[in-house]
Structure 1
Amino acid sequence: MRIRTDTEKNSGKGYVRIKSGMLIDKFRKKKTVILDIEELSFIPYILPVYESLRKKTKSISYYISTHYPGAVELNVFGIPVSRQFNISMAKDLKETDLFLSPHIYGKGNKNSIRIHINHNQPVKYHSYKKRDFINFNVHFLTSPLHREQTENTIKDYSLEEMDIKLFNIGYSKSDDLLSGKYSREKVLSELGLDTDKKTIIYAPSWDKGLSLRSFGESVIEELLKIESVNIIIKLHPISYSSEDGPNYEFYTGGINWKKHLEKFNSFKNFRNVTEGKSDPLLAASDVMVTDLSSVALEFIMLDRPVIYIDCPEFFEKTLKETYTGFGKTSSEYVKNDPKANAGRHTGIVIEDLSQLNDAVGRALSNPSEFSQKRNELAGLLTYNKGRAADAASDKILELLNLK
């Protein structure tokens, strides 16, 4: 349950409270850091870095900007509700030393260090929008592929003269996955699934025109025809956005997917996992079914087969509606370039759901079919494998002159 205890924005006592707290921090010689968690689903992308920082220094005072001040999900940070506030306030807090955001739309104060720590691997577009990209003066890069995408942005908009710093950090959300922390048997047992069965994970992206919002139920119905396997559903985190959030309609199509998919809960081999990170589920799965989600790139790093459902509506309509202004983005580019295609060139692409279960059988019977292509791509998908959170916290301490 989410509880809002602070709906104050930039005016009144909410702003005064936060500003006063930061001034006191300054007097106490502490650095002030804002963790920008617009949607609660962004927590896994910041939490590992925050935990690493907390182990290394006590010289930082933390604040949270979010649409959901006081949400119980934020309790994992141990940051008092009195230090949580609406995201619209962050840009006006000139007392901020560092603003850390996992989404490119975050806006910190122009006088602070403003770090974009990407919440996904490169996918869907050629480069960022200029107006969003330049809100940050530091970009933490997840991988060589992400560096290429980011350098495309700088080149596309002739930003070479701007003081924008790029650092090779890695993808902290995947540290535990890439370190082999998770046990397949333990994960499946905790879900109440048969550990002797192969496991298929359906992990679609969120956009209009992609598989979930176009025919997601039909995908699940097809997969459930394969009675000899476990079926795990793990939607994109923002597909579970709160109904009282400002982006609910945009991210979900106005559908509460947790409730909407409850109709399948009667199947003993089916689990719709709506809470927690995807990483344990990836470790427990043998084959992924997706459309154009960057989670496929995380699965590819495990050298496991991915089946891609082609979604013409996305390529023909949504790209133009949603991703206009993202550099040289085009249908052909997104389908074929590794910086945008979620690894389509390394897996099985199906054009009709009637092909789905045959593709699953093919992937299960010959999981090494595209292994060479997957491994070639995997080499471009990480920096600091298994220790990205540590690399990120080290760089933050350096930028704050705390090292």
Structure 2
Amino acid sequence: MAKMQAARDAMAAIMGRVENGQRVGGVDAKKEPQIYQTAIEYYKDQFRNAEKADRMVDVAKSAATMKYLAFNPKSALVNMTAMVTNVPAALHAYAMDGKGSMTKVGPALAGAAKDYGAVMAERLENADEQAFIDEAHRKGYDDPQYARDASKTTIDSTSKAWGKAMTWGMWMFGKTEQFNRGATMLAAYRLARGRGLDHAEASKTAEHTSNRAHGTTGTMPQWAWGTGIGARVGQSLYVYQKFVHNYFQMLHEMLGAKQYKALAYATAAPMVLAGATGQILPAVAMTILGGAMKAMGDDRDAEKFVYDTIREYLGGGAEEIARYGLFGAMGMNLSGSMGTTIDLPGAGGMMDLLGPAGGVVKDARDAFGFLAPGSTAKPQRKRCRPALLSRFRRCARPPASPRSRVMLSWTRAESSTSRPPATQL
């Protein structure tokens, strides 16, 4: 019944209503055919009944989420970095309307983070701010959307036991997501009130700011709508591309609104924290440099040339910072998790085309071959992430054959250097 009512409301929004013999609101199919057709396709995709293929895609998503995010402290750490990358830029662009100094954002965000961290245990002294937080709780604006969506999808598509495992596994990630959204909204609300907006306007601004900074789950790009094979592949490929997609949408809005301070911050912050590796601007610069070098008859790899030059003149430490940012200086490589480039499918064929879900299948296949007695798998084959391998090693006795002992020792060496992917909301 609720779905039918939602469908009727959606069609009413598209078709408008008739008042005094005239149509009011809605979308005119003749004047705005593209918008009308897009809206119709969107609602058809949202309100269609689930099919077996939908459940298969959901299971693949849940497997990828369990592998890369669940029970993974690194994912929670990477998720928190949004508070110093996307969020300050979004606060300046939306809550402050691009006006004023970026220096106002830091103190406002720090105070909001402190207060929101305590708001779960006690109430705020400011009545309007507490009313805003209560409304956000009631409407679910500060819910951990990705963790909630992953758990709900899993329960709907698989067993309750797997759903509970997913809920437990995503608990830590969900708490960081809730903190990020709640602190962002509280900081945005305060900044919006500071520039003269009333409670209702500031509340809407805060919600909009949080959605732009962290994105919203449950939606797919238009090319992934529908039930065709192309749409199914797109749904699988898009599992973790939502975050990068949202980042570029935010940059596009800032550029269109000429909010250059926020744009510069949002572009530079990921490079400062995680280095140039995997970032869009350095990737473009390396491509241009590589083309110029080839035009002058130099066939060396541009990226290798730049980092070799930095190491030669400034030392290895400077190279680490250039590659991996401030986290690299502390011995951590989060460049893959905080990258802002969109990787295209490589030589892995269909497994690469299926995105993270394909990665799960490929790693599971390699893991079974790796654990098999007398396996002849070569070291260059990609393995399961080190956390899973360490669990296998704790549960299994050391193999007796010399070949297996060599493979086990190689796995230990790989686990010390591999960096499993994570993600950011």
TM-score range, shorter chain: under 0.3
Task: Name the structure with the higher helix share.
Answer: 2
TM-score, normalising length from structure 1? Answer: 0.24
TM-score, normalising length from structure 2? Answer: 0.23
Higher Cα radius of gyration: 2
